[in-house]
Amino acid sequence: MLAAKRPMPANLTPDYLAAEEEFKSAQSHDEKLAALERMLATIPKHKGTEKLQADIKRRLARLRKESQKKGTSHAAPFWLVRREGAGQVALVGPPNAGKSSLVARLTHAHAEVAAYPFTTRAPMPGMMNYEDVQIQLLDLPPVSSEFMERWLPQVIRMANLGVLVVGLDDPSVLEDIDFILQTLVEHRTPVPELMLCNKIDLPGTADTLAALEDLYGPRFRYLPVSAATGANLDRFAREAFAALGIVRMYSKPPGKPADLSRPYILRRGQTVQDAAKQVHKDFADNLRFARLYRESSAHSGMMVERTHVVEDRDILEFHI
């Protein structure tokens, strides 16, 4: 369990807790170092966590010193993929489900696709477009009862979202799904809610899809797709965006048109104050009010408070 011995400071975020888990299961020196760096980067910075911050810094300093003595590198482990874009989505699935094919189709990454299992050995990121944002997809090695990379659960946990990918042509799809669910639970890794049911282009696969829906019911949202034909892949991008729990905000200078080319990304529930901080660090402190515009509606220039919760595609004009 977490932190049995020390009092738990309030407001530790899922990102921080994931990094802490990662630290606990880290084996090598480099893995520990990378996890501690993540912990420091993600720990909420307030009075309640000062002791913990100091503790992390002390451990970091000690580990860095050790690595200097040994002359080992500071390089992060190869499987750690820096998050880019609006969010990181890990594709989790058995061998041959079509994970690499999906990443290849949806991004410009050159994922290795092959008709034999275990081709993907390291995480392979690629950027998927959704309207005006980019979502990072992570192609991963399979979760399989035959073999699983030791670091896989940590990478899945560190992603903003996990998506299950199965091949509807897989004769052992049920066993595969059950094994994956069990493995994720054992590793205290969140179980995906979205199931991409790939290869819907193949004959007979609609029956398998119906059987999966029957068996697992509302535990999942089922999205039949085909990496081969591209069927429903636009829906996948939309669902991934929605599931990431983020919203877009555009900034409009007073008296000028909004810059609609570059959305700022906020977590759902964040406010005008949070938005102002992203646009300019001075804005947040000096903000008097903001005006809210929406492309579609009658809201044109309505005054909103700092505490107003931002909705997707809000256009904000900050007044300082």
| Contacts to Mg ion by CB under 5 A | 99-100, 119-120
Sequence-ordered list of residues with C-beta below 8 angstroms from that of 288, at least 6 positions apart, any chain: 319, 320
When binding is defined by CB under 6 A, the residue of 32, 38, 99, 248 that contacts ligand GDP is 99
120 binds ligand GDP (CB under 6 A): yes
Sequence-ordered list of residues with C-beta below 8 angstroms from that of 95, at least 6 positions apart, any chain: 117, 118, 142, 144
Please identify, among the stretches 73-81, 208-216, 221-229, 305-313, the one whose residues bind ligand GDP according to the rule CB under 6 A: 221-229
Question: Residue 266, SS3?
Answer: strand
Among ligand GDP, Mg ion, none, partner that 201 touches (CB below 5 to 8 angstroms by kind): ligand GDP
Please identify, among the stretches 109-117, 215-223, 242-250, 274-282, the one whose residues bind ligand GDP according to the rule CB under 6 A: 109-117
Tokens 């750690």 -> residue: 80
Contact 75, 28 (CB under 8 A): no
Q: How far apart are CA 154 and CA 18, in angstroms?
A: 8
298 binds ligand GDP (CB under 6 A): no
CB neighbourhood size of 119 (10 A): 17
Please identify, among the stretches 65-73, 115-123, 182-190, 262-270, the one whose residues bind ligand GDP according to the rule CB under 6 A: 115-123
Among Mg ion, ligand GDP, none, partner that 160 touches (CB below 5 to 8 angstroms by kind): none
Residues 227-286 that bind ligand GDP (CB under 6 A): 227-228
Contact 120, 141 (CB under 8 A): yes
Query: Which residues share a beta bridge with 267?
Result: 246
Angle between helical axes of 205-216 and 173-186 (0-180°, round to 10): 40
Give the binding-site size for ligand GDP (rule: CB under 6 A): 21
When binding is defined by CB under 6 A, the residue of 178, 193, 201, 274 that contacts ligand GDP is 201
Q: Which residues bind ligand GDP (CB under 6 A)?
A: 93, 95-101, 113-115, 119-120, 142, 198-199, 201-202, 226-228
